[in-house]
Structure 1
Amino acid sequence: MVGKRKQFINTCPSLIVETYVPKNNFYRQIKQLLHLDFLYQAVAPYYGKCGQKSIEPVVFFKLQLVAHFENICSERALIENSQLRLDILYFVCRQIELDN
């Protein structure tokens, strides 16, 4: 099943992480240029209608980009590396819009 997951500030604190990622960071610049919202519609026919939700297509694609840029061949190493680096975490997480 494809779709956007509801995110809370505690699950992906991209607004907080953003303050720690330098303005000239590679992943920050890519995030500003890369718009992947079209992927939800493009991959929708390939996802089932029932069962557990899978990883978001945009997040999956961004993780594959990180693996390419960082020359990581193992998915476990990719996840471990992504959890440890704030710039990658900022790049992979969707921007959370807060209602004031």
Structure 2
Amino acid sequence: MQGKKDYQEKLFAQFQLSERIPKENFYRRLKEVLDLDFLYELTRSYYGSSGQKSIDPVVFFKLCLVGYLENIISDRRLIQHCSMRLDILYFLGYDIDEELPWHSTISRTRQLYPESVFEQVFTRVLCMCVDKGMVSGHTQAMDSAPVKANASMDSLELKVPKADLGAHLEKIRHISSMDKKKAR
């Protein structure tokens, strides 16, 4: 007999986000590894002592990290994407019924910090990931695509005088062969 699923929206009687995220999930593992409490001291001088509370600096930098990892450059798209992913909500420390910050808040906060703060955060986060074995330096990857050249051979300019060309090519071949020997 053919079944048919009828969807009826319910209020969750009991729901824990942490139970829905698999133990091997990348963002769950990242949440366990990253201790970003140093951000409170690092960013304290960029805030006043009165007025409305800002976005939590830890949440802001986690959002920046998610944007980088998910290849999202639009703050509006980043917030939309994060609000749809349970694992990212868990990583950010938000529950399923909590609203994420406005995209404009992300943009304004990004302008608040100088480049040096971002560099310090990047360095500390990278070190934490290396220390926990999430990142290692033994593999190098390159993304490329062959592109057909669109240049006329007549337009090429020879940078070495024709008289010295033979000696120049021999020197380059020698350097290239030395590099190949070192690589072995």
**Can you give the 5+ residue segments of structure 2 that lack an aligned partner in the other structure?**
1-14, 95-184
When the two chains are superposed, the root-mean-square deviation of aligned CA atoms in Å is: 1.3
Counterparts of 1:40 and 1:26, CA distance in 2: 25
What amino acid is the match of 1:62? Answer: K
The 5 Å alignment of 1:7-86 reads 16-86=16-86
- Distance in structure 1 (CA, Å) of the matches to 2:87 and 2:57: 20
Can you give the 5+ residue segments of structure 1 that lack an aligned partner in the other structure? 1-14, 95-100
CA deviation string 1:27-68 (max 9, x = no partner): 001111000011111110111111111100000000000000
What is the CA distance between 1:83 and its match in structure 2?
A: 0.6
SS at 1:55 equivalent: coil
Larger radius of gyration: 2
Alignment size in residue pairs: 80
In the alignment, the residues of structure 1 paired with residue 60 and residue 67 of structure 2 have an alpha-carbon distance, to the nearest angstrom, of: 11
What is the match of residue 12 of structure 1?
none
Identity of aligned residues (%): 55
Deviation of residue 16 (structure 1)? 1.1
The SS at the match of 1:63 is helix
CA distance in 2, matches of 1:69, 1:89: 15
User: How far apart, in 2, do the equivalents of 1:69 and 1:57 lie?
Assistant: 18
* Amino acid aligned to 2:20: Y
TM-score, structure 1 normalization: 0.76
Normalising by the residue count of structure 2, what TM-score does the alignment of the two structures yield? 0.42
